[in-house]
Amino acid sequence: MSNTSPLLTPTKLGAVELKNRIVMAPLTRNRAGEGNVPQDLNVEYYEQRATAGLIITEATQVSADGVGYPGTPGIHSPAQIEGWRKVTEAVHKKGGKIFIQLWYCGRISHPSLLPNNQTPVSASSIKPQGEAITYQGMQEFVEPRALKVDEIKLIVDQYRMAANNAKAAGFDGVEVHAANGYLIDQFLRDGSNQRTDNYGGSVENRTRFLMEVLQGVFETWGPNHVGVRLSPENGFNDIRDSAPQSTFNEIAERLSSLGLAYLHVLEGDMLSESRKVDYSEIKDRFNGSYMANCGYTQKTAEAAVTNQSADVIAFGSLYIANPDLVERFALDAELNIPDQETFYGGDSHGYTDYAFIETEEAIA
């Protein structure tokens, strides 16, 4: 394998040594088994991609209350822990490193997905526009219930337990999902947080929930085994902030003192090609490794690492279609084309049957 690409050089994220700077981004694929348990098909999928410097798993709910989609895995039951242990063992046998992304969907859910048909919760009782994906098909989002302070503490406890379960499952670390319009992001951004207590108003207050979650996670994992994902201007899931630059500059500063393994930033908007945020400002305010994500190609990723605008690059759809992405980058080889129709749900087709570089055929 050629080592001419800066992406192929080793690095360190916190306490975790990586063999290259290519990260498999967290990718929801809706293929967990009954009980939201990772199954053998998931083991094969992650094992195929173990040459990545780091794998970040698909978003994984910390409790049954945190579910937002069908077929997504959890890390809150013994069966789920055992299912994930099979994944981590397979990745480690291939020499890979793997973090689990911890997730609570909040208002981006539906009563039919939650225990006892309960109402989804959020920072404030603000109904998002759009529809939830349920086992009965698409259904309009409902107005969420604003969390009480004592309920916020209970969810922090769920993150704490999930972090402990992740350790038991053999992960190398955890990533706290604070992006893309899910519960923590619903607290961070003022479009969904209209609270008047200590969890609303100022950026410091809106960041409080995230900081409490991290302190809970740190009880099991040292901060240098923990990453955080942010998405300052992503409008996915009807989320927005009135001043994303200043808001997320301050959040990055607040996270900077914690000694995290990395800050993972979705740069831009999944729903638009326009960018209004200067991500270099966010990177400069974070004293640690910076993981960039959003539409990077091999060439733009190499440029980002070379000019030090990022330390590592996370790839999404390219990793769906190219389990051997590291090898293809090393050889400057042609890439498989992702089949978007098979991204969510289904079986092995479009999941574990993409061709490796040794094979002439690749799915289109």
Q: Tell me which residues are annotated as active site.
A: 182
The Cα 344–Cα 28 span in angstroms is 7
Whole-angstrom CA distances from 117 to 65, 66, 79, 114, 143 are 10, 13, 23, 5, 14
The Cα 168–Cα 240 span in angstroms is 36
The Cα 17–Cα 27 span in angstroms is 22
Give the strand pairing for 16-18 and 22-24: unpaired
- Count the neighbouring beta carbons within 10 Å of the beta carbon of residue 352: 17
DSSP string, 132-196: EEETTEEEE--PPEEPPHHHHHHHHHHHHHHHHHHHHTT-SEEEEE--TTSHHHHHHSTTT----
Whole-angstrom CA distances from 100 to 14, 39, 250, 275 are 16, 16, 26, 28
Strand partners, 227: 175, 262
Whole-angstrom CA distances from 127 to 142, 189, 231, 238 are 6, 14, 20, 9
Burial 148-160 (b: 16+ CB within 10 A, else e): eeeebeebbebbb
Query: For residue 151, which phi and psi values (nearest 5 degrees)?
Result: -70, -35
- Count the neighbouring beta carbons within 10 Å of the beta carbon of residue 61: 27
What's the token pair of residue 344?
């969510």
DSSP 355: P
